[in-house]
Amino acid sequence: MKKSRHGRKKDEQSTLADGEIRRNAEERVAAEGRWRVVGDSRPPIKPPRDYKYLDELVRLQFELLKMQEWVRLQGLKVCVLFEGRDAAGKGGVIKRITESLNPRVCRVVALGTPTERERSQWYFQRYVEQLPAAGEIVLFDRSWYNRAGVEHVMGFCTDAEYQEFLRSCPLFEEMLVRSGMHLIKYWFSVDDEEQERRFVERIQKPIKRWKLSPMDLEARKHWVEFSRAKDVMLEHTDRRLTPWNIVDADNKKRARLNCIAHLLRQVPYKDLEPVELELPPRQPDTGYRRPRKSSQRWVPRIY
């Protein structure tokens, strides 16, 4: 079916606008003077057999910095969902992604239990408020898929609400992608024995106790039901435009590296190189007299 003249003109205008955005992004890189474009993006290659975990992590985090700058300058919208079993390592991956990035560009969303008002809203409404604007990366530490997992298994939603979610979720996500958003979904898979080992570790170590909620312990009693719910969820929501990416999370360190390396291949970005900067001279003393230290409240030196 041929497009109308108006449709062809609209497509041409859209292509021109996209090209202009890309040109502006490279011009902004040059104007800011902090990075310079040295070529196209180079997704991480397979590491050598004797790679060091920390070395690889730092290399990937440096690539994340380049991707972040390109997202910011080009006005991309990147939304990443992290789902999976309790204690599967989602939080650890999110921490390694964000620890070297600018929190004004990359932020984490971890919503709590919905309020009475939120329960009366359209189900996706409180998540829509958290979606990225142009130039932002948003990482969801659990997302709207709560309805397909814990809400369904633990009886926090009705069967009708659950069935409606399975029907409407693919449509909702397709709308996000067609609006120009990069939507990337990860499911962290961990086997029963490894999850139990991590639970025991959290019970025994007070510094990790906060990670273990009463719901985590209750969910252990429904292991098979959660497995079944996950399979049904994948059947309904693993689509061509919005596929699920399964992360083998039995080994935490490998899971972190594999997930970050995969994420870098999902968002096209230019290969950037930091520019050497010179520290400008400090303003000379003009006779201003600062207040005495004894007039200020200093933190006690106990170390």
Query: pLDDT tens digit string along 26-45?
Result: 788 878 878 888 888 777 77
**Three-state secondary structure call for residue 301:** coil
Whether 195 and 85 have beta carbons less than 8 Å apart is answered as: yes
Domain boundaries, the chain: 14-273
Chain segment 166-186, per-residue pLDDT in tens: 999 999 999 999 999 999 999
Question: How many whole angstroms separate alpha carbon 49 and alpha carbon 177?
Answer: 37
Which superfamily does CATH assign the domain made up of 14-273 to? Answer: P-loop containing nucleotide triphosphate hydrolases (3.40.50.300)
pLDDT at 5 over 80: no
Residues above pLDDT 90, as percent of the chain: 63
CB 43 within 8 A of CB 145: no
Work out whether the CA dihedral 22, 132, 241, 56 comes out positive or negative: positive
Mean pLDDT for 66-75 is 95
pTM of the model: 0.86
Helices and strands counted in the chain (H then E): 11, 7
Lowest mean pLDDT among 9-18, 181-190, 228-237, 248-257: 9-18
